[in-house]
Amino acid sequence: MTITTLKPETAAQVTDAVRWALSAGEPLEILGSGSRRGLGRPVQAGHALDLSGLSGVIAYEPEELVLTALAGTPMDSIRAMLADRGQHLAFEPPEGGTLGGLVASGLAGPRRISAGSARDHTLGIAGVSGRAEAYKGGGKVVKNVTGYDVPKLMAGSFGTLTALTEITVKVLPAPEDTATLLLFGLDDAAAVAMLDRALRSPYEVSGAAHLPAAAAARSAVFEVAGAGGAVTLVRLEGFGPSVAARVTMLREELRADAVLGRDGSLALWREVRDGAGLGEGAGGDTHLWKLSVPPSAGPSTVEAIRRTLDVEVFYDWGGGLVWLAAPPDSGTAIRAALSAGGHATLVRAPEAVRAATDVFQPLPEPLMALSRRVKESFDPKGILNPGRMYAGL
């Protein structure tokens, strides 16, 4: 329903745009490149605030481990710049989009278990609140406890609190080498038990996933697709001699069936990061969910869901992240199965579905009330991305 798109080129123009929206009582849909528009609930707004005009890296100092860029800077250019100096964003976010969009959607990939998420790497922000006031939070150094950690609150807030204009992130050395141990033919419970063993070892595992037979068969990596059944993955990264030594020790300890070298590993973990093709090609009849649960409860949670639903799954984060393809209208049944704790997010479904369902796990009322007050403290009139996370927020 967007009628007009405002495309500011400076932070001052972002303030002007929000000030106008506030005075006119017109909500704004906040956009970077729009690549994550399918995440969260659709925003009902007559105007879009397109921040992709605020683009460019302001400072990149590899030795200081920090990078500051305008929020609309494309992630692909930031990635390339970091790769030139052997660095990366350690939380392994999906590709594409803008830096602002990445932080706002709070995403992380398989390395979440060892390196943290977007929130752990967002050091500083500048932006415009729903009060049309420009402000900043955090800092531009890696260690800082001065004042509230506002940058963390921005991570995963989906643009509902502040239109971000500038972001400082922590950047880290990219691993020199990587390898993946493969274990064939385990069922879900045995696989997660094996991942637990790997994660309890001192070998600094940076990826721990399990692809049941159907997911493994879809892989473009020959050793995985050709296994003819389920494949369990344990990733080791770091300096060459270190990876080699750890592969040898952990392979023996886990009795792994095969080892995937650098190229195969990189390809395989990109697949895992991006959902391993789960539910793709099934059209609108299959919705994709991500469940964050205590790792040891991953398989039992899936078992409980399977009592009422026909679903396809795979596991990441040592069993703590369940990717799940389910038929429409499964939200209630999925959430009812989370007895061990955790939450379920609908990450791929048609817009009409996302408008009518709880995309994010509903919060208990005291927490929801607090979240509403937090929203109001930044955006009292509900100008910024209203309804993107929860109806009425």
By CB under 8 A, the residues from 249 to 268 that bind other proteins are 249
Told to check if 33 binds other proteins by CB under 8 A, we report no
**Smallest gap from residue 170 Cβ to other proteins (A):** 10
Task: Give SS3 for 64.
Answer: helix
C-beta closer to other proteins: residue 46 or 277: 46
Per-residue contact string for residues 127-166; x = within reach of other proteins by CB under 8 A: --x-x-xxxxx-xxxxxxxxxxxx-xx-xxx---x-----
C-beta closer to other proteins: residue 57 or 245: 245
**Smallest gap from residue 157 Cβ to other proteins (A):** 6
Which residue from 245, 267, 309, 333 is in contact with other proteins, where contact means CB under 8 A? 245
Told to check if 26 binds other proteins by CB under 8 A, we report no
Say which residue the tokens 């209203």 belong to: 386
Say which residue the tokens 């150094």 belong to: 141
**Smallest gap from residue 326 Cβ to other proteins (A):** 19
Binding region for other proteins (CB under 8 A) out of 94-102, 173-181, 262-270, 306-314: 173-181
CA dihedral 363, 364, 365, 371 (to 10 degrees): -40
User: What CA–CA distances, in Å, run from 271 to 97, 194, 264?
Assistant: 18, 21, 11
* C-alpha angle 350-352-354 in degrees, rounded to nearest 5: 70
Told to check if 370 binds other proteins by CB under 8 A, we report yes
User: What CA–CA distances, in Å, run from 354 to 316, 346, 393?
Assistant: 24, 8, 15
Confirm if 213 and 229 have CB atoms less than 8 A apart. yes
Which residue from 36, 41, 119, 251 is in contact with other proteins, where contact means CB under 8 A? 119
C-beta closer to other proteins: residue 216 or 305: 305
Told to check if 211 binds other proteins by CB under 8 A, we report no
Confirm if 386 and 43 have CB atoms less than 8 A apart. yes
Which residue from 44, 308, 339, 377 is in contact with other proteins, where contact means CB under 8 A? 377
Confirm if 17 and 31 have CB atoms less than 8 A apart. no
Site for other proteins in 41-100 (CB under 8 A): 53, 61-66, 85-87
Interatomic CA distance for residues 200 and 191, integer angstroms: 14
Interatomic CA distance for residues 12 and 42, integer angstroms: 27
Confirm if 171 and 67 have CB atoms less than 8 A apart. yes
Interatomic CA distance for residues 231 and 195, integer angstroms: 12
C-beta closer to other proteins: residue 303 or 310: 303
Q: Which of 161, 136, 153 is nearest to 378 (CA)?
A: 161
Report CA torsion sign: 349, 354, 360, 362: negative
Told to check if 201 binds other proteins by CB under 8 A, we report yes
Told to check if 4 binds other proteins by CB under 8 A, we report yes
Binding region for other proteins (CB under 8 A) out of 27-35, 171-179, 218-226, 280-288: 171-179
C-beta closer to other proteins: residue 133 or 280: 133
Binding region for other proteins (CB under 8 A) out of 36-44, 109-117, 259-267, 348-356: 109-117
Told to check if 7 binds other proteins by CB under 8 A, we report yes
Interatomic CA distance for residues 31 and 12, integer angstroms: 17
User: What CA–CA distances, in Å, run from 70 to 153, 287, 297?
Assistant: 18, 34, 40
Binding region for other proteins (CB under 8 A) out of 30-38, 91-99, 180-188, 313-321: 313-321
**Smallest gap from residue 277 Cβ to other proteins (A):** 23
C-beta closer to other proteins: residue 279 or 299: 299
C-beta closer to other proteins: residue 223 or 237: 237
C-beta closer to other proteins: residue 35 or 117: 117
Interatomic CA distance for residues 259 and 253, integer angstroms: 13
